[in-house]
Amino acid sequence: MRIRHLENDTIINVSQLLKAPVGTERYFTVHLDRLVLDSDLEARDLTASVRLLRTSNGILATGQLHVTAHQTCVRCLTEFDGRYSETFEAEFWPTVDILTGLPLPPPPDEDIFTIDKNHHLDLQEMLRQYAILAIPLYPVCGPQCPGPESLWQREEEVIDARLAVLQSLLDERA
Ligand SMILES: [Zn+2]
């Protein structure tokens, strides 16, 4: 089985695969140093294994990705690097007919990605969406996390600080 590697690249020319019979497969590995996921979220060291399968409508991409994200633990507020995984499955439909070059109607579903008129399938947007899914909204630094106790202590400190301000105001009025 031949596996092609994409280094800091997410674009695959699928013209040959689109001409191949339904059921034909291609295998890829991808590594990205960085991938911007959102305005305030970035993944590092993204790796993915990708299988592209020719279907009657286009190409089905399946596989698994791994990402590292720098996060703040919701329980102890420590900053840490978490490594996360997610499996993916996404359809890519051509926008032009591979044989005639004529434009094709857009996919009926907005979850379906498109292959551009030059037969370039770009994995980036799909990887971005699945990387966001992989990264937990409420990350915990790990099994050794000191836990909510320290968060509670921090809350107490904040309350103590507020009470101190209130006390000083009351003292001024007295
Ligand atoms: Zn923690």
pLDDT at res. 162: 61
The two structure tokens encoding residue 146: 């000191």
pLDDT at res. 49: 98
pLDDT at res. 163: 62
pTM: 0.81
pLDDT at res. 161: 61
Cα(88) to centroid of ligand 1, in Å? Answer: 28
Per-residue pLDDT tens listing for the chain (174 residues) = 899 999 999 999 999 999 999 999 999 999 999 999 998 889 999 999 999 999 999 999 999 999 999 999 999 999 999 999 999 999 999 999 999 999 999 999 999 999 999 999 999 999 999 999 999 989 999 888 987 754 445 555 555 666 666 666 666 665
Cα(151) to centroid of ligand 1, in Å? Answer: 9
CA–CA–CA angle 78, 81, 84 (5° rounding): 125
pLDDT at res. 87: 98
Cα(82) to centroid of ligand 1, in Å? Answer: 11
The residues pairing with 30 across neighbouring beta strands, listed in sequence order, are 6, 48
Q: Could you tell me if 47 and 39 are in contact, meaning their C-beta atoms sit under 8 angstroms apart?
A: no
Instruction: Give the residue from 114, 157, 122, 100 showing the smallest Cα distance to 50.
Output: 122
Alpha-carbon span 24 to 55, nearest angstrom: 8
